[in-house]
A and B are shown apart, each in its own frame.
Chain A
Amino acid sequence: NAGVTQTPKFRILKIGQSMTLQCAQDMNHNYMYWYRQDPGMGLKLIYYSVGAGITDKGEVPNGYNVSRSTTEDFPLRLELAAPSQTSVYFCASSYSTGYSNQPQHFGDGTRLSIL
């Protein structure tokens, strides 16, 4: 079982560059999420999706974009990298309906440094 797969694991960017963080899940989960984790802090939600074609902003969406064209994939796009976006990024997925909510499953993260 692959679960949630994130690529790349590490990346260094220069200020102003752009990149896409990839996330794929093979559990047929309808909900997917992107979080960032800064040192000593909890995770903060960037964007989330409740199904293919549906995305919405989380707590800290500025500077990021997402798309969800398939159930499996949920890429996160940084258009103009800034030092404040240096962080560890986690993708997660879960199966949710209106009546139940299962635990979120996380990938191993992408460690991003912007210099």
Chain B
Amino acid sequence: KQEVTQIPAALSVPEGENLVLNCSFTDSAIYNLQWFRQDPGKGLTSLLLIQSSQREQTSGRLNASLDKSSGRSTLYIAASQPGDSATYLCAALQTDSWGKLQFGAGTQVVVTP
């Protein structure tokens, strides 16, 4: 059974610093790896999706990498802003899972002005 872990559970950085969020998974037979943002009291918003054949995806200040052999994905957020404060979750889609995502518990990020 796929296990997805995100460490640390919480992170606080000053504005302007780069954020590095980690996600590890136990089963490398994944179809894709997805990163989501969750604001308090809200649903999840998709940030980036990396297909298993890709090494990274970029969108603006966000860059996500994927290393299936080591079971790791990393989300980089450049030049953090207070508006980046949220919980970030990663989720792995198995190759035979009919669209079923296995989520990590998330990393709660606070960016202080």
Interfacial chain B residues near A48, Cβ < 8 Å: 98-100
Question: Interface majority SS on B: helix, strand, loop or mixed?
Answer: strand
Among B42, B91, B99, the residue within 8 A (CB) of A31 is B99
Interfacial chain B residues near A109, Cβ < 8 Å: 41-43
A43 contacts B103, CB within 8 Å?
A: yes
Interfacial chain B residues near A90, Cβ < 8 Å: 43-44
Cβ of A113 to closest chain B Cβ, rounded Å? 15
Within 8 A of B (CB), among A86-115: 90, 92, 94, 96, 101-109
Residue of A nearest to B39 (CB): A108
Interfacial chain B residues near A33, Cβ < 8 Å: 99-100
B46 contacts A101, CB within 8 Å?
A: no
Given A101-B31, A103-B49, A109-B42, also A58-B100 (CB < 8 A): yes
Bound complex: CA A107 to CA B93 (Å): 20
Given A42-B4, A42-B106, also A107-B99 (CB < 8 A): no
Binary flags per residue of B35-47, CB closer than 8 Å to A gives 1, else 0: 0100001111110
A50 contacts B98, CB within 8 Å?
A: yes
Question: Which residues of B come within 8 Å of A, CB atoms?
Answer: 4, 9, 31-32, 34, 36, 41-46, 49, 89, 91, 93, 98-101, 103-106
12 sample A-B contacts, Cβ–Cβ < 8 Å, listed by A number: A33-B100, A40-B105, A41-B105, A42-B91, A43-B44, A43-B91, A48-B98, A90-B44, A96-B99, A101-B32, A101-B93, A106-B44
